[in-house]
Amino acid sequence: MQHVFHLPEEYSFEKVGIKGKNFPTKELTDKAKIAIIEVEDGHETKIREKECTFFYYILEGKGSFEIEDKTEECQKGDLVVIPNNTIFRYSGKMKLLLVTVPWWYPEQEETL
């Protein structure tokens, strides 16, 4: 069983101002999903993730998260926690490590 996962060369997804690479960890655990997210300007829409808590760790850059109509600034080294059922979006030029608990599926997300 594989325990070391290298950053994928190809992007797994690209949408509404973000692009990302998913680590293929599903065979090892389905309790959390891990991805690297890159954003140049920001996530262009507000979303509500119905089931997952999102943990964003800022690897590079700076920006802001609008969470339930409150804006908070963030920068390299910060951790942003978005509980499930929370409306949010983010902006700035950043590279983020995203951990979702439990495993994230597209149909769980509502675009507002």
Place 30 in a pLDDT band, splitting at 50, 70 and 90: confident
Domain boundaries, the chain: 13-103
Q: pLDDT digits over 41-66, tens only? A: 988 899 999 999 999 999 999 999 99
* CB-based burial label for 25 (10 Å; 0-12, 13-18, 19+): middle
Q: pLDDT digits over 62-100, tens only? A: 999 999 989 999 999 999 999 999 999 999 999 999 999
pLDDT of residue 1: 83
Please report how many Cα atoms fall inside a 13 Å half-sphere around the Cα of residue 43, on the Cβ side: 19
CATH of domain 13-103: 2.60.120.10
The pair of structure tokens assigned to 104 is 């994230």
Q: CB atoms < 10 A from the CB of 104, how many? A: 20
